[in-house]
Amino acid sequence: MSQPPAAPVHRIDLHAHSTASDGTLAPAELVRAAAEAGLDVLAITDHDTTAGWAPAVDALPRGLALVRGAELSCRWYGGQRSIPLHLLAYLFDPDAPELVAELTRLRADRERRGERIVDLLRADGIDVDWAEIHAAAAGGSVGRPHIAQALIRAGLVRTTAEAFEPRWLGERYRLPKEDMDVFRAVRLVRQAGGVPVFAHPRATRRGLVVPDELIAELAAAGLVGLEADHEDHSPAERAHVRALAGELGLVVTGSSDFHGTHKTVRLGAFTTAPEAYERIVAAASGATPVAYG
């Protein structure tokens, strides 16, 4: 007996975070929220970790496909100043040795950095507890948003945005963190059968952005796509990214970069076209999307 045709995929959000890094929804809550938001496909892309994959798969609602991914902390060292950037890695083998080693290194540095920030806060008489913050990360990747939540619980700030102001984590209590060279990151993701996509590449409101020439070099090195539709891109920046992707033959994606209550953007606020999603899946050899059933 022939199988019925697969249901068409319409709403695809390829960038979302859970409590495994700096989101406010647990992985199981995240996939349920995605289904309630009417999404057909969701990518879980926590910072430098795959810790949310298994609980997300276990809780996957009917009708939702899950793309397992991560957002890698990277840096370009080729300019007068090094520039931090984020690389979305989709459908890679989570057991690939070199990539696992790099992710482990990045998470360990995040943890050391978090503990040092807490030490600075406590030295100024601010009563936050590292053990409590570490526990809140639940084995995932510790980040400044976890410390922001501790400041909120202590009644010192009202919101995550306030916690990231210069007098708090935005400047006074901000410390540098380790990143991965972006060319190494692209190579390791491709070696692991994954698909690398440059996250919010033109978001000038976040700080310095890399030149188009670098993106062309990354495309030659194995970069597959550019995230164009993102809340931190202006309409002109989205158009620029789309035009550049067209010139370089790269996939164009759109996504919410959902973090829960850390940001106001909702799941599905920006989405990826089905044909772009199909190109990403076709380019992967490390894993496939997981669907209910």
What confidence tens digit (pLDDT) does each residue in 101-150 have?
Answer: 999 999 999 899 999 999 999 999 999 999 999 887 776 778 888 899 89
In tens, the pLDDT along 264-280 reads: 899 999 999 999 999 99
Taken in order 213, 214, 215, 218, the sign of the CA dihedral is positive
CB atoms within 10 A of CB 238: 18
**β-pair partners for 16:** 44, 258
Q: How far apart are CA 65 and CA 60, in angstroms?
A: 8
CATH class given for the domain over 12-104+177-291:
alpha beta
Q: Output 97-106 pairs: Cβ under 8 A, ≥24 positions apart.
A: 98/188, 98/191, 98/192, 99/188, 99/189, 99/191, 99/192, 102/180, 102/184, 102/185, 102/188, 103/48, 103/49, 103/50, 103/70, 103/72, 105/178, 106/48, 106/72, 106/73, 106/141, 106/178, 106/179, 106/180
Q: How far apart are CA 219 and CA 183, in angstroms?
A: 10
Closest CA to 117 of 47, 161, 63, 164: 164
Tokens 């978001």, located at residue: 203
Contact call for residues 253 and 229 (beta carbons, < 8 A): yes
pLDDT interval class at 36 (50, 70, 90): very high
**β-pair partners for 258:** 16
Contact call for residues 257 and 230 (beta carbons, < 8 A): yes
- 1: pLDDT strictly greater than 50: no
Q: How far apart are CA 121 and CA 208, in angstroms?
A: 28
Domain edges within the chain: 12-104+177-291, 108-163
φ/ψ of 91, rounded to 5, equals 55, 40
Q: How far apart are CA 94 and CA 229, in angstroms?
A: 27
pLDDT interval class at 47 (50, 70, 90): very high
- Which pTM does this prediction carry? 0.91
Closest CA to 14 of 266, 285, 277, 263: 277
Annotate 165-187 with three-state secondary structure: CCCCCCCCCCCCCCCEEHHHHHH
3-state secondary structure of 222: coil
